Structure 1
Amino acid sequence: MEIDKRVKLGSSEKMVVWILLASTIAVTVSALGPPQYVGDGRSRQIARVNHTKKLLCPVEGDPFPFIEWKKDGESINELWDNHKVMKDGSLRIKDIEVENAGKYVCKATNGFGSISVNYTLVVVDEEKDVVSVDGTEVYAKSHEEDLTKEGAPPRFTSPEKMKRQKIIRPVNSSLRLRCKATGNPRPQISWMKDHQELYSRDSGRRSSWTLRLSDLQQMDSGLYTCVVWNRLGSVNFTYHIEVIDKIMSKPELLAPHPLNTTVNAGETASLQCKINSEMQPHIQWLKRVDDPKFKSNNTIVISKQPFIILKSSEIGSGSDGTYLNKFVIHHVTEADGGMYICLAANTMGFSWRSAHLIVKSKHHENHYSYPIERSNLNLPLVIGVPGGILLVVIIMAFLFFQRRRKTQYHQGAIVNGPHFNRVPTQDPEPYLGSMHSGEVKTNIHVNPIHGTQHKNLYAGIPSPHHMLSSREKLSKNSQSIDFYTDISSVSQSHHNPHHHMQQYSYNGP
């Protein structure tokens, strides 16, 4: 028993060991892989002359990767005087010089792959007030430059607002010319008129992107150029300014703008107008006041109708010499619907054009659009199927009432008129054989008018004379015997109004 217990315990212990070993192997295998980057993404590092800088290699992997450093493509080893790769994989640079600036790469490699981390080391010499990025060239340090960011040449921030090169202004007016730009270092700007320097920044002052001209005279007409530059490059733009003595016409709003617009509630509505004018006009958007109880000081009257003045947006310039202005409403509501006016004015007068904004509510939208979205039927099918059904119903109703009318007619004739026996369609053989006999002729014919009583062998059969007349009428009218009998009875009652007895035999009681 004790031996069996020991065997069982030994087996259990082995099983536990195998389970632990298998789980350890699984965890180990799952952790194996190529190196991974775990840094903060700051690739530009700033160092100062005669200081120490440590560049980390933020990677991890299992197995731990082999670390190799390079500067400008050249491997760093023990022969480098002030560079040393540390045990944790980082690079320490002592007694930094300007020549140490440049591109550094940390490459981590293990059996599953490799990864590289790039750095740009910028060295600043505080004593000489210079900066080096590549270790070979230096430039003057400027408080306008952000050394933690890569340098960039100047570029205009709003080139779309600088399309209008020619600007016309009246005498005694004012004008602002703008050439805003960005770059690293922050660009400087200079202004020139007719290629002669007009304005440049003063020492120690931030550059101004706007040139202001007031009380313009005709002598101020000319070419105004802005030149924007930094150590990495420059850009420029030229305005053609014309100062005129008098404006000859008022602004003209060009059709078809503004256009009638329909939007759903909650969407963005946009109205635009296009103006042709000798000079830049004043453009104002207005909305008609439909509520007579509405009162505001911010209203004007046009064509005897009150309009509320809306906030104006910046005027743009078209490439064809026209002026553009857009009015935008975000998240429109039903209250935003109505009539809007674009008004353009100058010293000679004003012009305006109107447009209507229609705002559909969500309820209105669902009422009309939902069935269309759920239906796959086209318009002809939608109209044709109900129309065909209606036509069939009308035809069936017409046939039904026609049949009912005939039935009522027959029933009325039978109920209201005398009841006659059916006229045979074929003459019986005894009758045909007895047409030469006077006895049979007397027995068949009954004349109720003279009151003569005879034995009727063939009750309900008319005389041969009447029989022949009936057959002729039957062949001509091609009607049934019952229908013909009814018509004959009605006809004879009209021919002999003094007698109500017909010359036909009745069925006796």
Structure 2
Amino acid sequence: MSCEARGNPPPILSWFINGTEVDPEDDARHSLVDGNLIISNASETADYGKYQCRATNGLGTAVSRDALLQFAYLGAFSAKTRGGVSVREGQGVVLMCTPPPHSPEIIYSWVFNKFPSFVAEDSRRFISQQTGNLYISKAQPSDVGSYICLVKNSVTNARVLSPPTPLTLKTDGVMGEYEPKIEVHFPPSVLAAKGLTVRLECFALGNPVPTITWRKINGNIPKKARLRKSQAVLEIPSAQLDDSGTYECKAENPRGGTAFKGHLQVYTLPQWTRLINDTQLDSGETLRWECKAAGRPRPTYHWLLNGSPLMIQGRVEVVNGELSIRDVMQSDSGMYTCVAENKYGTVYSNAELRVLASPPVFIPNPVRVIATLGKDVSLACKPRASPKPRVTWRRADSRRLQQSNRIMLLRDNTLRIVNSSRADEGHYVCLAVNTFGSAEMTAMLWVKEPMRVDLSPGRLEVTVGESVVLSCKATHDTSLDVGFQWSFNQRPINFQKDGGHLEYIQTVRAQQSSTVDLMIRSILLKHAGKYGCRAHTSADVVFAEAELLVRGPPGPPGVVIVEEITDSTATLSWSRGLDNHSPISTYNLQARSPFSLGWQTLRTDPEPVTGTMESAMAVDLNPWVEYEFRVVASNAIGTGDPSAPSRGVRTKEAVPAVAPANVSGGNGRRHELVISWEVRRSPGFTRDGLLVLLLMRSLYLQ
């Protein structure tokens, strides 16, 4: 049996059988290996029972849940010869199995005459898995023979056979019809664990063979329930609490009927809904632990301290499973166990209570604090102590500090000074006292002039490709060291990942000031934004920000839409893109088709297309050609990226603009003249035209 426990110091594990500690020296069959209990040559007589593991160290004892050790076995039937059974034809009969000793449950079946011919259950024959008996509601000549009860252990699968029981029919007549008599029924009160399968048996003798029906009093039989073995067994899989109730089986035949009622009670083992957790308290505080468990019947609770029953008296109270201990002391420390149990099971919840008791100790001591003139300053006093100490503050050169609107003691014992001045400089002493002792902590306070930071220039406009320098100057107390950090749009700048555009220029220190520069080389549009300089000393943090505007070529215009199309024109519209701090001066309309080499600039109406326009007409297009269009913006800095292409559209059809050339005639047969010409196409014109053939009648001259 395995047992694991964690603790510091590592716990020592021990085992108990039925409440008695296992001692390997007293019984060589028992051994402990890494906390695991090993039983050699286990026997039911010596080892059957409840086992529990306990873990102990210097801080307490925790206990495990109980484990029940059982032994599976199957004895042999008595070898005594069984007497025969004789009944009239039509009469009911019961053949007794009388099983041998066994554990746990066994499975019953009956052999008819010789193995492996088994009795098949039907509406007339039934084998009870509760008693093992074979019931025949109405005997008939085919039932005559020898019957053997076979039992099988559900764990070991061992099987044994009983001596045979002969069944014969009497010759003094046939049994007449009679009303049913229930010979097999479930107990009047059935207990079943939640989640298990419940089987209710009901079988009757009678002539004619009775019919079995089931119902639930004041309710419906669960939909998941199923009837087995010709209605003789009602099976309820995964029983739930609402399956509890009174069930009735009824046996009927033409001669009458009878019924049996029994109550099913589904119970649940205790299950935790609220556990206790490790708790650390100062001496003198109050412990409150509540553990809750669900179960039916409702669980009851009791408490253990280090594996033994907790004494409920004086400071210790337990109400409805809730444990409270007033004015805890070190002797209350240990491992507590809440035990929830009902008649069907027990669960355990363990937690450690650690009660602290120590005099005040300050780490570190003394404390140095640098404040800024005119700002608020806080002096913390956080001793390690249990119970919590009383705290007072005083100046090292004077009596106890008196609280005022400017000097106050906060709830966490922090001394707060509002609008600090040079007069506040000096040594402050915090005194902490509890029942176990006292300790002092000295805080040395210096008040310095506030730091000022100047970032110049504050606002700057540059053109793409130029370089600029931002200078950050901090004026501060000469006794303090200053550090700087640059940020871009509120994010720290990583100078290694910027591709060489940004350079941090080392700090230049003067008597009362420090200066650091940021150089931005070959500026791109993405460098536009807000640059911040954060200067910090041990007393102060100051932030300044500058804005950099970058002028550059316009961004791409928005989506291009073809509003109207003719055979030679297209009306286009678009939305403005970014001007990048330089007004857009003109727009350039471009198109491409299967007959062009890339994008070609178009003639427009009006011409030029100014930067204030968002619509224009492209002219001199070729008819019956598919075009894509795009727009490019320009400003004083240059020409930007083009817009995304429009969807493809085809211009309308048109009459050919060029006449055929090189018309000639001749040859041909008699009465015919062949005329030929060359087709000249307009640029991009691809649609087939109509060919007109002139057939001329030959002229005969006399």
Between 1 and 2, higher relative CO (CA 8 Å, sep ≥ 6) is seen in: 1
TM-score normalised by L of structure 1: 0.28
TM-score normalised by L of structure 2: 0.22
